[in-house]
Amino acid sequence: MKKGTKIGLILLGIFILFVFITYRTLVGTYNELVRMEEEVKNAWAQVQNQYQRRADLIPNLVETVKGYAAHERETLEAVINARARATQVQIDPARLLENPQLMQQFAQAQGQLSSALSRLMVVIERYPDLKANQNFIALQTQLEGTENRIAVERRRFNEAVRNYNQKLRQFPTVLIANMFGFREKAYFEAAAEAQQAPKVDFSQ
């Protein structure tokens, strides 16, 4: 075999190996980004599920309180109105970046609902008969559990976003991400009033 032919075969082999490695890297990185993006979407769906669970508890809570404290109309209406605003703002997990302001609106609306619930809980302190009501106690327990789950799911979502964003900035992932249109996701920054769950412990 001629020397030139050998060199040609070696170069061809190197080229084929380069193409194979590049293809494997491209496919592997793309699939990894898809998987991590799906984790972000799923985590966001869980955040929304828990907020919806809280919203579903509020009508029964308001009706129960109304039976004992009907004249606290202003506080009850504030909760109802805050719930209405919070349930109006929904974000499709598949469109987390199309409107970053929507994420802020969602956090603000949920924070306002948390604040309204906190004010309602303060009012309830004045009604010992209500605090002893079995239906209210059950709702209180469910609300407290839901608030805890909201905090957990918010943290999981932000962890998924952090992992995804970090992966996105790594080399050569950043090149592949730009090629296929992967973009960084926004963290869920809860409003200040939503950082702590409303206090619902009336055991004292």
| 3-194 maps to CATH 3.40.50.10610 | no
Whole-number mean pLDDT of the chain? 87
Percent of the chain scoring above 70 in pLDDT: 89
pLDDT at residue 202, rounded to an integer: 37
CA distances from 178 to 168, 173, 181, 184, 202 (A): 9, 9, 5, 11, 53
- Cis geometry, peptide bond prior to residue 172 (ω within 30 degrees of 0): yes
How far is C-alpha 152 from the chain's CA centre?
A: 10
Range with the lowest mean pLDDT among 10-14, 41-45, 135-139, 154-158? 10-14
Q: What is the pTM of this model?
A: 0.82
pLDDT at residue 197, rounded to an integer: 43
φ/ψ of residue 190, rounded to 5? -65, 145
Q: Which residue has the higher pLDDT, 196 or 50?
A: 50
Asked whether residue 101 carries a pLDDT value surpassing 90, the answer given is no
- Sorted by where each begins, the domain ranges of the chain are 3-194
Q: Name the residue among 122, 57, 65, 67 with its Cα closest to residue 87.
A: 57
pLDDT at residue 156, rounded to an integer: 96
